[in-house]
Structures are given as structure tokens and as C-alpha cells.
Amino acid sequence: MGARGPMKEPTALKILKGNPGHKPLPPNEPRVPVGMVAPPKHLGTVAKREYRRAGMALVRYGVLTLVDHVALAMYADAYQRWVESSELLNETGQLIRGRDGLPVASPAVKVQADAWARVVRSLDALGMTPAARPRVIAQTKVEPVDWWQEVVGVE
């Protein structure tokens, strides 16, 4: 049986609020370093570019940690699918001829809608929308990572 009730509030948020419940704070909560890993090899060109762009911004603001790469990769993959389906729809239009010759919705419409929904959920999870930002806890002191230039390819 899974966890019940609302999700636990992050310790960092409790501290910012002054620990209003006055309950003891967890002593061993892991602190994951801010940073990012190289984009997965299976991502396409557009997805890798977006992975690096969004990842660098999230690291700069202290939001992305070294364990968030899967969420970032899923966002980048959904973003690429949305871009590709949007480009296809711009070329072919939203209607195509069906087997009987009558106009029907292009399959790219569903692909675009599904990708758009995944992008929006990912943006929300990563705190990349104005509505999601208040829920994100950024680390206030961002330590530079030694391997940063190697990961991002920036000199």
C-alpha cells in the first residue's frame, strides 16, 4: 500500500517557514549537489539542445540536482516530439484525406497534444512555469562543480 495523505514538506521549506509545527527536523536528510549530467545518448538533436539549455538555467538557479537527469531528459524528449509534430502540422495541416477520401484529423494532432501535455507536466515538475516556481525550493548556495565544463561542453 502506498503513502497516504499529502506529501511531506521538504525540510528546507520547513526551515524557511521557521518550523511552524515545532517537530524535530530529520537529521539525516540527504542533500544532493546541484549540477547536471550529460544528456542521454538516445535523445535527438533538438532534445539534447533543450536538455542543455534548460539544464544550465536550472543549475544556475540552484534547482537541478545530480539526480534529476531523468526528469530533465523526459522533458527534453517530450519537447522534441512537440516540436517535430508542430513542424509536421505546419507543413501538412491538421486534416488529411482518409481511406474514403474524406478529410480526417492527422495523426500528428494526437502526437502533438500528447507531447504538449507531457511538456506541461514536466515544466511544472521542474518549476519552469510562473505558477510552479513558488513551489520549488532552490538551494541558496550553489557550489560550482569541477566537471561542469566537461558535462556541458562550454569552455
pTM as predicted: 0.72
Q: What is the dihedral of CA 27, 30, 35, 37, to 10 degrees?
A: 170
User: For 123-132, what is each residue's pLDDT tens digit?
Assistant: 988 888 887 7
Which tens digit of pLDDT belongs to each residue from 17-49? 777 788 887 777 677 788 899 999 999 999 999
Query: What residues does each domain of the chain span?
Result: 11-152
Minimal CA–CA distance to 136: which of 145, 146, 144, 126?
A: 126
Alpha helices (runs of H) in 95-147, residue ranges in sequence order: 107-125
Cell, residue 130? 510562473
Evaluate whether 136 touches 26 at the Cβ level (below 8 Å): no
Q: Tell me the C-alpha distance between 126 and 68, whole Å.
A: 9
